[in-house]
Structure 1
Amino acid sequence: MDDRETTDLRTRLIDVGVDLVTAEGAQALTLREIARRAGVSHGAPRRWFPTHVELLSAIARRGFADLQDRADRATGGAGTGPRARLAALAETYLDFALSQRGMYELMFRHDLLESGRLGLRETSLPLFETLVDLVGRVRPEADPRVLAGTLWANLHGIAQLWGWGSLGLATGADSHVPLLKAALDAHLGPEEPR
């Protein structure tokens, strides 16, 4: 098998995994099912991904790339201030988490994060650095890394609890939008009137 075929099959296995996690959730990502849908033997993925964790990490990296691309588009608006860009980033994060539940769950799986195979420096840290930068511009007197970390934890919590239905039930809110605004106000201070 030549290098092109190897690259094509490797890419196809990841593509199939992305489609599978999007349609059926992270629990559906077995080597056997990915191989079946890719049209190869159940042992074939092991040639490119020696462990299941390596294949799952490659699929999760696609999720981080997608989220980063969405975040770049949301925060790239020229002429908008850091608070508006931060709100756009937070909304993008929540929208991704709620609309891509399977991928979001996979991206933050403890076993993948701990394995070192996910490449956090290349995947999630660039997005976190954007968050740190924007938080620092809005709240220059605060430690931007700590404040960004707590805001991220708050966003992650909103995403999880809203996705489970708990937050809507507890608050009576029919949308996560007021919760996002309250989280931003709590971490950044109330938005200045225009």
Structure 2
Amino acid sequence: MTEPESSTLRTRLVDVGVELVATEGVDALTLREIARRAGVSHGAPRRYFPTHLELLSAIARRGFAQLTDRAAAVTDPDPRTHLARLARTYLEFAFDNPGMYELMFRHDLLESGHLGLRDTSLPLFGVLVDLVGRVRPDADARAVAGALWAQLHGIAQLWSWGSLQLATGADDFQPLLHTALDAHLGPVGER
């Protein structure tokens, strides 16, 4: 197989995985199913991705690229407003892409080091740290950003499961988002 054919098949396998996780979720991402949908033998993916984790990492990398693109489109001269818009974008990405979101934050993929996945995810956290530091120069920006991210991740998960709606009676995540921001940044106008 020539190099362009190899690159094309590698890309097609990832494309199929991205579509599969979007339509059927993480549990559908087997090597056999991806190969079947790509129209190749069940052993073909191993030529390009020696382990299942490497293929899953390539698929998750696409998710981080999508989230990074969405985050880059969010701007505002006021750091708190920028941060609020970025947090909403993060949650909307999680709600719009539940399978990909779940895959992206699997600890085994992030820890495996395949395709520099951690290097893809950490710059997003760096943006959060920078904005928090500009809003809260009095605080340890990494710690506050970490706590805020953990809360956003929790909102994303609990909302997607329906738990927050049940517990709070809310039908919109925005009040929870504003409460989380106020908890970590202080109420609007306080600083």
Coarse TM-score class (shorter-chain normalised): over 0.9
2:26–2:99 CA contact under 8 A, matched in 1: yes
Report SS of the residue matched to 2:180.
helix
Change (3 A) 1:166 1:100: same
2:116, 2:180 → 1: CA distance? 29
TM-score (norm 2): 0.97
Matched letter for residue 38 of structure 1? A
Point out the structure with the larger helix share: 2
What are the Cα deviations for residues 117-163 of structure 1, in whole angstroms up to 9, with x where unaligned? 15244211110000000000000000000000000000000000000
1:60–1:118 CA contact under 8 A, matched in 2: no
Aligned to 2:149: 152
2:127, 2:63 → 1: CA distance? 17
Aligned to 1:101: 98
TM-score (norm 1): 0.95
Aligned to 2:72: 72
- RMSD of the TM alignment (CA)? 1.1
1:168–1:174 CA contact under 8 A, matched in 2: yes
Once the two structures are aligned, what percentage of the paired residues are identical? Answer: 73
**What runs of 5+ residues in structure 1 fail to find an aligned partner?**
none
Query: Among 180, 183, 187, which residue is 2:180 paired with?
Result: 183
Aligned to 1:39: 39
More off after superposition, 107-116 vs 37-46: 107-116
Aligned to 1:58: 58
1:51, 1:120 → 2: CA distance? 15
1:23, 1:91 → 2: CA distance? 23
2:94–2:156 CA contact under 8 A, matched in 1: yes
Matched letter for residue 135 of structure 1? V
2:146, 2:117 → 1: CA distance? 15
**What runs of 5+ residues in structure 2 fail to find an aligned partner?**
none
> What is the count of residue pairs matched by the alignment?
190
Report SS of the residue matched to 1:119.
helix
Deviation at 1:5, TM superposition (A): 0.4
Aligned to 1:129: 126
Residues 17-28 of structure 1: pairs in structure 2 closer than 5 A: 17-28=17-28
1:12, 1:33 → 2: CA distance? 13
2:80 corresponds to 1:83 = yes
2:64–2:121 CA contact under 8 A, matched in 1: yes
